[in-house]
Structure 1
Amino acid sequence: MLKLREKESFNVFLVILSISFLALGGIFVKISELGPVNTGLYRVLLSIPILLPFIISDKEKAKISLKEIFIILFSGIFLGFDLLLWNISFYHTTVANANLLANLVPFTIIPISFFIYKEKVPSGFLFGVIITIVGVFLLIKGKDFNNGYSLFGDSLAFATSIFYGLFLSIVYKMRDKVNAIVIMFYSAFGTLLVLFPAAFIIEGISIPKGYSEWWPLILLALFSQILGQGGLSYCLGKITSLLASVLVLTQPVISAIYAYFIFNERISLIEIIAMFIVLFGVFWSKKTTR
């Protein structure tokens, strides 16, 4: 029993670590000299040659049916719309709002888990989700928004959470049959089906020209796409999608901590209290999903 709990705690740690890598995405998007859509495009495009050696070296990973490839490609399309809308939302609303609304995936994953996957959703888990969301809203409320609020931008960010929830729900089921590396490799092509035409239409395809343009994109692909998104996909084979959906809500907390150390942004007393509320909500949710 003790070993089982230790294993659960380790899996939760891996999820938080993956989310910490994902949270770096907003920083690299902000630093990137390319437009937001092109930045998202290269995040995925550059991940393919990094993943390819792992696919080639293990023939077992390559054994996947055409049906499974199609499903994974389809999930990649959802991830493509997620990245497209999220990156654009930064230009129409506050970064805080974009981070909050884009991570409200429980509103998508909980109904899918209950109505489609027929999984039981404990009432205690719902209580934990509510507490966590309250904490996240309080965290964002503690920010000094000034100007920058936009219903259009917020709508884009919330739509992001729907597409991201759909992506995670498909990955959750596919992890029963397919390795996480394979999922990330094939889903990348589905994602590019969205980002290539979007980049061409909205910004025009940009080609990075120097070190200053390349390094944020390479780090974005390595940390956010492979270690972050890939790590979370791996963890979906170890924990339930319900628990993953509430753990994703810790990303705004992690982003706030990054902003404090990297951009020297002040953390108020309200934000500190909000962080503890989020952690309590996550703890409660984990406790009810054992």
Structure 2
Amino acid sequence: MINRLEFAKQRLFKGLPLTALTALVIALVSISLSAILIRFAESEMAPQAIAFNRFWITTVILGLWNGLWSIFSQSWANPSSHPTPSFVWILAALLALGVLITMDLVLWSWALTQTSVANATLLANFTPLFTTLGAWLIWGKRFDRYFLIGMVIAMGGAIAVGLTDWQIAADKLQGDGIALLAALSFSIYLLILEKLQTWLTVTTVVFWSSAIASVLTLPIVLITKQPLFPRTWQGWLIVLSLALVCQLLGQGFLTYSLKQVSSEFVALFLLLDPILAAIGAGILFSEHLSLVNWLAFAVVLVGVYLTTLSESITQAPLPLTNH
């Protein structure tokens, strides 16, 4: 029995480096706070306007921090043993990141108006499945039984919460499809991010994805004639917190973690996000957490732990040639 425990510990630390785990925990906590902050901000602005402010503030902060010149010149590159792809590929990948994160946000907001919150949340939990299928089909990655079994258990725990409120209705099918597209968008975002961070620094990736997302969300806010900026200093404090905590820390550490673990594991780890957000909402807004919520949290943790025993989560990204 002792030998088995020692073997499990060795597999744990071999499969999941401590630095990657730390980065993921910081990213998870930071990202989970976005739901709470957005809830506060919605008293002044629509979700699209909140996102726009979150993105442009992040862009300005990183632009001032690094200096635009350094972003374009020496500090944009991340030392890598892999062949560096062409500038066109990097530019296209950065553009794709901005488009995909905007699509995820817009589609998610749209889905919430077309279907129930329970349906949208449940379908969003399919992100790990989409990411894993994408890595298998596009990058040709293979996964061992620890990862596959852990993924099934973790997704099962996350989906079980939403099944109690799941609604099947013809008039909600469009919203359900939109929610699935949002999950697919974020899955592709993670797959591209996993490759891109191999050649670019974390700040460069976050800067350009935020800048592109700012440009894309601005017309949406203007077309819908929503208030563009907060009206009070409390509103400004909230969107500044979203930029600093959720975007800079959250997306920054999420990108950093992909240097050591795969996008599939990151997607799986983020299944803890809605549960952690629910716990935070329960503390701040006195929202009731049922026994099912706590059991689901435990099941997801078990599933995530099993995947840490897999060597698949630290497979190095496939190198791209400069063609």
TM-score of the alignment, normalized to the shorter chain, above 0.5: yes
Q: 2:94 aligns with which of 72, 75, 83?
A: 72
Equivalents in 2 of 1:130, 1:203: separation in Å?
43
TM-score by length of 1: 0.88
Within a 5 Å distance, the mapping from 1:35-114 to structure 2 comes to 35-56=46-67, 60-63=74-77, 66-67=87-88, 68-114=90-136
Q: Name 1:8's counterpart in structure 2.
A: 17
Shift of 1:2: 9.1
Larger radius of gyration: 2
For 1:75-131, what per-residue CA distance to the aligned partner results, in whole angstroms no more than 9, with x for missing partners? 111111111222343444454544443343223211221121111122331221111
Say if 2:50 is the partner of 1:28.
no
1:28–1:56 CA distance, 2 compared to 1 (3 A)? same
Q: 2:276 aligns with which of 239, 245, 254?
A: 254
Point out the more displaced range, 201-210 or 164-173.
Answer: 201-210
Say if 2:150 is the partner of 1:124.
no
Within a 5 Å distance, the mapping from 1:139-150 to structure 2 comes to 139-141=161-163, 150=172
Point out the more displaced range, 96-105 or 241-250.
Answer: 96-105
Q: Percent identity?
A: 24
Equivalents in 2 of 1:74, 1:176: separation in Å?
16
1:141–1:2 CA distance, 2 compared to 1 (3 A)? closer
Q: 1:186 aligns with which of 205, 208, 211?
A: 208
1:86–1:246 CA distance, 2 compared to 1 (3 A)? same
Equivalents in 2 of 1:193, 1:114: separation in Å?
32
State whether residues 15 and 232 of structure 1, in contact with CA within 8 Å, keep that contact through their aligned partners in structure 2. yes
Equivalents in 1 of 2:141, 2:154: separation in Å?
21
Say if 2:309 is the partner of 1:287.
yes
Indicate the SS of the match to 1:238: coil
Equivalents in 2 of 1:104, 1:2: separation in Å?
27
1:267–1:207 CA distance, 2 compared to 1 (3 A)? closer
State whether residues 37 and 88 of structure 1, in contact with CA within 8 Å, keep that contact through their aligned partners in structure 2. no
Point out the more displaced range, 268-277 or 186-195.
Answer: 186-195
Deviation >6 Å, runs of 4+: none
Q: Name 1:199's counterpart in structure 2.
A: 221
Equivalents in 1 of 2:225, 2:31: separation in Å?
24
Q: Name 2:316's counterpart in structure 1.
A: none
State whether residues 171 and 233 of structure 1, in contact with CA within 8 Å, keep that contact through their aligned partners in structure 2. yes
Q: Name 1:264's counterpart in structure 2.
A: 286
Q: Name 1:155's counterpart in structure 2.
A: 177
Name the amino acid aligned to 1:255.
Answer: A
Indicate the SS of the match to 2:272: helix
Equivalents in 2 of 1:10, 1:63: separation in Å?
21
TM-score by length of 2: 0.80
Shift of 1:142: 5.8
State whether residues 76 and 188 of structure 1, in contact with CA within 8 Å, keep that contact through their aligned partners in structure 2. yes
Shift of 1:150: 4.4
